[in-house]
Amino acid sequence: MLPYADFGSTRAMTKNDCRANALKCYQIAQVAADRDVRRTLLDLAVQWRELADQIERLQWEAAPEPASPGGRPTLH
């Protein structure tokens, strides 16, 4: 696993990390003087949001199903 740039750790990026990066890109784009830089930053913001959504989807799919009332697993 690659170190996480902002913290120097080896933790995986979370959906919140990705959303924070999207927000940073958007905020910087708002003050960027160059149109191409602005467009690139806005494109990056979209990609960070999509990555956050993908992480969220994967976490939801990997979550265990809740047990039925009484503590027994449901049969499918």
Q: What's the pTM?
A: 0.69
Q: Give a yes or no: residue 32 inside a domain.
A: yes
Q: Give a yes or no: residue 58 inside a domain.
A: yes
Q: How far apart are CA 21 and CA 16, in angstroms?
A: 9
Residue 1: its pLDDT value, please?
39
Residue 22: its pLDDT value, please?
97
Task: Confirm if 55 and 15 have CB atoms less than 8 A apart.
Answer: yes
Q: Give a yes or no: residue 43 inside a domain.
A: yes
Q: Give a yes or no: residue 45 inside a domain.
A: yes
Q: Give a yes or no: residue 70 inside a domain.
A: no
Residue 61: its pLDDT value, please?
86
Domain membership of residue 33 as a residue range: 15-62
Q: Give a yes or no: residue 51 inside a domain.
A: yes
State the 10-residue block means of pLDDT for the chain, 76 residues long.
54 92 97 98 98 93 74 57
Residue 42: its pLDDT value, please?
98
Q: Give a yes or no: residue 23 inside a domain.
A: yes
